[in-house]
Amino acid sequence: MRRYLSIILTGLIVIAVLVGLSALGLVEFDRPPESESSPRRTSYNPGPTGTRALYQLLEGSGARVARWREGYQDLPERASDSLLILVGPFSEGQLPSKSETKALQSFLISGGRLLVVSRAPRAEFDDAAIHITSKAREEDWTASSDDIVDAESEALIVQPTELTRGLKGLQLSRLAARLRFEPPPPAPAPTDDEDTAALTSPVVHLGDKDGAVVADFDYGEGRVVFLSDPFVIANNGIARGANLTLVLNLIHTLGGNERTILFDEAHHGYRRARNPLFSYFRGTPVLWALVQLLLLAFLVAYTYGRRFARPLPLPQIDRHSPLEFVGSMANLQQVAAARDLALENIFPRFRAQLCRALGVSVRADSFEIASTLSHRQLRTPKSHEVTRDELNTLLRDSERALAGEPISDERLVTLVARMRQISGWLKGSTPR
């Protein structure tokens, strides 16, 4: 049991780690309370500052609505006739690059529609003509939605337009920024391949003396509308007063009834992965399972590559078996023609056994042993009887071979075979 203790402990640790990883993948920890100081404006967020309510409302009403998870470079080709909604602020580190900004401008110039909902729209739509004034520096940005509602919201209606129709009871927040649009100094004349559109001549629908809250622009063949209060479109504000009416007016004016409505999610951290395999398994536990399998494979490799017990000697294979020794010695004796040496291993033992059986001294000569045999015949069957002359010849030839007299292989084999035969008879016989 002790020799397998380390393996058992390793297996238990691996199982515990896998259970812990699975628990982490299933348990959803409580998120910190959302507020306007750190909003999450994605349409995936059902929290107070998200825009999931609007997305599901449009989806349920039959509008063609989708989430845009690509870069702006693909807009002119894949969504040239769509309405793109940008709700800020974007996630940290996800601001559009210069190339994306140019692609977004090309999308508008070619006839696209854009709704920018942000208190700092320069981050979402970089144009030097946009200037921002904040009137909420002293406000509590962590206050609840009930505490940030501006009771004077209806006073911001500048003129009756298609965007301000039915806005009785409008409830914007006191955190709404004020936008001013002042064109920058004239720049050098652009070349033929550069875009020439700019934010000029805005139509202000909501605002006051400090600036606009809702402003409308023609931009090339397209149109862009700025709304400086994301509270109107957020989950905790869209159902208040006439806020939903304002949002639907904006979408209707920008052609949302005939166009595909796209919510920009790429810059909220939901950019589509370029690898189609990872894209297919995104949002499923398959990726977690792969991580667990890789971790398990690493632990198995580490376990097999490391000793967790005292070092053991290598197994020793005993190659000195009796048969191998006998075979080797026989081969050496045959090669060296050492027939006397082979006979020396057998004859002394046979002679001593024969003397004990006949009751004579081991120092007796061959003639004496053979003579004793004629007087004291062994109690063996008739077929096993040995004559005096035969035994005398056997003993004499063996002694001569041991003394150095040459002997052939055939004679040696005959002598040894006869000694073995007589030894077998002697084991079960007694003198008579």
Average pLDDT over residues 412-423: 84
In this prediction, residue 4 carries a pLDDT of 63
Encoded tokens for 337:
């023609």
The Cα 183–Cα 191 span in angstroms is 20
In this prediction, residue 320 carries a pLDDT of 64
289 phi, psi to nearest 5 deg: -65, -40
The Cα 379–Cα 332 span in angstroms is 40
CB 36 within 8 A of CB 139: no
The candidate with the shortest Cα–Cα distance to 229, out of 179, 266, 183, 264, is 179
- Predicted TM-score (pTM) of the model is 0.60
| pLDDT tens sequence across 39-49 | 999 999 999 99
Average pLDDT over residues 14-28: 67
Is residue 212 very low, low, confident or very high in pLDDT (cuts 50, 70, 90)? very high
> Residue 193 above 60 pLDDT?
no
The Cα 288–Cα 265 span in angstroms is 23
In this prediction, residue 319 carries a pLDDT of 65
Backbone torsion region of residue 104, taken as left when φ is above 0, otherwise alpha when ψ lies between -120 and 50, otherwise beta: alpha
In this prediction, residue 23 carries a pLDDT of 63
Domains of the chain: 43-184+196-272 (3.40.50), 322-427 (no CATH)
Give the strand pairing for 65-68 and 113-117. unpaired
> Residue 429 above 80 pLDDT?
no
> Residue 329 above 80 pLDDT?
no
In this prediction, residue 59 carries a pLDDT of 94
User: What is the dihedral angle through the alpha carbons of 235, 241, 243, 246, rounded to the nearest 10 degrees?
Assistant: 160
| Backbone CA torsion sign across 121, 123, 125, 128 | positive
In this prediction, residue 28 carries a pLDDT of 53
Average pLDDT over residues 306-331: 73
> Residue 157 above 90 pLDDT?
yes
Helical packing angle, 347-358 and 409-427, nearest 10°: 40
Lowest mean pLDDT among 157-161, 182-186, 285-289, 377-381: 377-381
| pLDDT tens sequence across 96-130 | 999 999 999 999 999 999 999 999 999 999 888 89
CB 52 within 8 A of CB 44: yes
Encoded tokens for 49:
């500052």
State what percent of residues in the chain have pLDDT above 70: 84
In this prediction, residue 195 carries a pLDDT of 54
State what percent of residues in the chain have pLDDT above 90: 40
Average pLDDT over residues 138-159: 90
Is residue 431 very low, low, confident or very high in pLDDT (cuts 50, 70, 90)? very low
Average pLDDT over residues 316-326: 70
